[in-house]
């Protein structure tokens, strides 16, 4: 299987050139200004080509809530959004606390052959907030633990979880929410838990990834911890960097203008490792009943690109770093860079296209988005995984 992309504007975290990329047996084998290989060709005609995107924070609801999303519709949504790798959270039914659920997800996704998936296992068994023994029986496929959707309330439980994670070289993804105080003050709830967990990392030196950081104080705490050299990484969502004073139901909630500014400043200063979508599809009925979340995979790039790059805050290289290179490194996968030997996973983009978001056109089952009807720049034209076109929104492949 060989594929040559010709005439692209190639961008990754540290490169920018006009030229070609050659993929053989699923891997990037060559790139440069004028390549010649006798194989299938895609004429990119000046389109931007970047490494495909990598999402560390995704909910596909399979098993158990497949009326909201399943592995097939979720994977198709990922591809349409330019993603070829997602990290799935554990709040399914049953909750993913065992290799049985991990294996179900991985086998089904392998059969689908659409994108690559990592399945996160819960920190506490069945999200009970205390039991950690299941962590001992996890296979090497598992890299992340998270009770995302809920915070781990007891400090000593989080302490023990971090100790265990360190022993097994796992990374904990923290959903920072103190349930006691959230009803009184939701930003304090996020801040307190964030500060606590940074302290726990100071005490344990275990790897912690802070999910969907949304407040000024939380990101300031993370900046301090990073400056001290603690092994912490963090992500922000497209919605928390582009919306403020908006009542749309999502957890953590949409914050204030000053929070958005603080998050963007932290991105510019290099303290934010990744854009995480927190793709959280729900049915119309569930949203009516108060479910929190945004169906985010299909709009993440355009919102981030329009807000951060068109908004004049960062370069396209920097966006590639936080949507591909860094999350690829955190997930410890061979993706996210245009580099010989890396996976041939690429996205073709028309950055000069402005379009209106229409959630009825989402391939995700979740049509829940506060961005419906809004105009954004940057359309995904095609997504390539391992040298194969997996999403085609209008390119011609020249089979010769
Ligand atoms: O808005 C959210 N939705 N935040 C979460 O933490 C969980 C997620 C979900 O699973 O629906
Ligand atoms: Zn989540």
pLDDT tens profile 87-119: 999 999 999 999 999 999 999 999 999 999 999
Mean pLDDT of 224-243: 98
- Ligand 1 site, residue 293, Cβ cutoff 6 A: yes
Whether 6 contacts 43, CB under 8 Å = yes
Q: What is the pLDDT of residue 397?
A: 82
* C-alpha distances in Å from residue 21, one per residue of 284, 323, 325: 42, 20, 17
Is the same domain home to 229 and 151?
yes
Lookup: tokens for 285: 């009925």
- Ligand 1 site, residue 91, Cβ cutoff 6 A: yes
* Final residue of a structural domain among 285, 300, 331: 331
Is the same domain home to 246 and 349?
no
Range of the domain at 142: 52-331
Rounded to two decimals, the pTM is 0.98
Is the same domain home to 191 and 284?
yes
| 278 assigned to a ligand binding site | yes
Q: How far apart are CA 102 and CA 366, in angstroms?
A: 23
Q: Which residue has the tokens 């001992």?
A: 136
Task: Tell me if residue 278 is catalytic.
Answer: yes
Could you check whether the bond before residue 94 is cis, i.e. omega within 30 degrees of 0?
Answer: yes
| 91 assigned to a ligand binding site | yes
Residue nearest to atom 6 of ligand 1 (CA): 149
Q: How many structural domains does the chain have?
A: 2
pLDDT digit string (tens) for 123-180?
999 999 999 999 999 999 999 999 999 999 999 999 999 999 999 999 999 999 999 9
Checking if the pLDDT of 291 tops 80, the result is yes
Mean pLDDT of 341-352: 98
Is the same domain home to 114 and 82?
yes
Is the same domain home to 62 and 19?
no
Residue 336 inside a domain? The answer is no
Residue 356 inside a domain? The answer is yes
Residue 72 inside a domain? The answer is yes
- Ligand 1 site, residue 364, Cβ cutoff 6 A: no
- Ligand 1 site, residue 51, Cβ cutoff 6 A: no
pLDDT digit string (tens) for 154-164?
999 999 999 99
Q: Tell me, in angstroms, the distance from the centre of ligand 2 to residue 195's CA.
A: 19
Is the same domain home to 150 and 233?
yes
**Ligand 1 nearest-atom number relative to CA 177:** 6
| 212 assigned to a ligand binding site | yes
- Ligand 1 site, residue 92, Cβ cutoff 6 A: no
pLDDT digit string (tens) for 35-58?
999 999 999 998 999 999 999 999
Helices (H), 58-152: 71-80, 99-112
The catalytically annotated residue of 62, 197, 278, 343 is 278
Residue 168 inside a domain? The answer is yes
Residue nearest to atom 4 of ligand 1 (CA): 251
Q: Tell me, in angstroms, the distance from the centre of ligand 2 to residue 280's CA.
A: 7
Residue 338 inside a domain? The answer is no
Closest CA to 176 of 194, 154, 162, 161: 194
Is the same domain home to 16 and 73?
no
Radius of gyration of the chain (CA): 20
- Ligand 1 site, residue 148, Cβ cutoff 6 A: yes
Q: Tell me, in angstroms, the distance from the centre of ligand 2 to residue 277's CA.
A: 8
Mean pLDDT of 301-307: 99
Q: How far apart are CA 278 and CA 299, in angstroms?
A: 12
Is the same domain home to 373 and 308?
no
Is the same domain home to 46 and 84?
no
Predicted confidence band of residue 330 (pLDDT cuts 50, 70, 90) = very high
Residue 337 inside a domain? The answer is no
Is the same domain home to 359 and 275?
no
Closest CA to 279 of 13, 127, 76, 58: 58
pLDDT digit string (tens) for 208-233?
999 999 999 999 999 999 999 999 99
Q: Which residue has the tokens 């929070």?
A: 259
In percent, the amount of the chain with pLDDT more than 70 equals: 100
Checking if the pLDDT of 365 tops 90, the result is yes
**Ligand 1 nearest-atom number relative to CA 91:** 10
Q: Tell me, in angstroms, the distance from the centre of ligand 2 to residue 148's CA.
A: 5
* Final residue of a structural domain among 299, 331, 363: 331
Is the same domain home to 216 and 294?
yes
Residue nearest to atom 9 of ligand 1 (CA): 280
Specify the CATH number for the domain of residue 28. Answer: 2.30.40.10
**Ligand 1 nearest-atom number relative to CA 211:** 6
Q: Tell me, in angstroms, the distance from the centre of ligand 2 to residue 398's CA.
A: 40
Is the same domain home to 41 and 64?
no
* Final residue of a structural domain among 296, 331, 366: 331
Residue 340 inside a domain? The answer is no
Checking if the pLDDT of 400 tops 70, the result is no
Specify the CATH number for the domain of residue 176. Answer: 3.20.20.140
């Amino acid at each position: 299987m060989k594929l040559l992309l010709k005439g692209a504007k190639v961008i990754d975290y540290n490169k920018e050139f006009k030229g070609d990329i050659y993929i053989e047996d699923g891997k990037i084998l060559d790139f440069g200004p004028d390549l010649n290989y006798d194989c299938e060709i895609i004429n990119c005609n000046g389109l931007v080509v970047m490494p495909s995107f990598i999402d560390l924070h995704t909910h596909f609801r399979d098993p158990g809530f497949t009326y909201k999303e399943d592995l097939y519709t979720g994977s198709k949504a990922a591809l349409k959004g330019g993603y070829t790798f997602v990290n799935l959270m554990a709040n399914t039914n049953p909750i993913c606390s065992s290799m049985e659920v991990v294996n179900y997800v991985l086998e089904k996704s392998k059969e689908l052959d659409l994108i690559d998936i990592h399945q996160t296992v819960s920190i506490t068994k069945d999200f009970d907030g205390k039991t950690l023994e299941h962590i001992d029986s996890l296979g090497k496929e598992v890299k992340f633990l998270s009770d995302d959707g809920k915070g781990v309330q007891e400090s000593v439980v989080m302490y023990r979880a971090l100790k265990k994670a360190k022993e097994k070289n796992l990374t904990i993804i923290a959903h920072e929410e103190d349930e006691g105080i959230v009803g009184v003050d939701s930003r304090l709830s996020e801040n307190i838990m964030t500060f606590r967990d940074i302290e726990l990392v100071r005490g344990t030196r275990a790897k912690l990834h802070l999910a969907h950081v949304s407040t000024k104080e939380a990101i300031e705490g993370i900046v301090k911890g990073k400056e001290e050299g603690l092994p912490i990484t963090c992500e922000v969502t497209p919605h928390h960097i582009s919306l403020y004073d908006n009542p749309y139901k999502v957890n953590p909630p949409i914050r204030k203008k000053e929070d958005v500014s603080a998050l963007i400043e932290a991105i510019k200063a290099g303290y934010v490792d990744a854009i995480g979508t927190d793709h959280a599809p729900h049915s119309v009925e569930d949203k009516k009943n108060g479910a929190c979340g945004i169906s985010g995979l299909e709009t993440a790039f355009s919102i981030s690109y329009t807000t951060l790059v068109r908004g004049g805050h960062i370069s396209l290289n920097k966006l590639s770093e936080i949507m591909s290179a860094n999350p690829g490194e955190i997930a410890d996968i061979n993706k996210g860079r245009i580099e010989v030997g890396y996976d041939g996973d690429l996205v073709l983009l028309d950055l000069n296209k402005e379009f209106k978001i229409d959630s009825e056109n989402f391939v995700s089952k979740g049509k829940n988005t506060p961005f419906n009807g809004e105009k954004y720049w940057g359309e995904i034209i095609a997504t390539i995984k391992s040298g194969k076109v997996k999403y085609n929104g209008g390119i011609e492949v020249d089979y010769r």
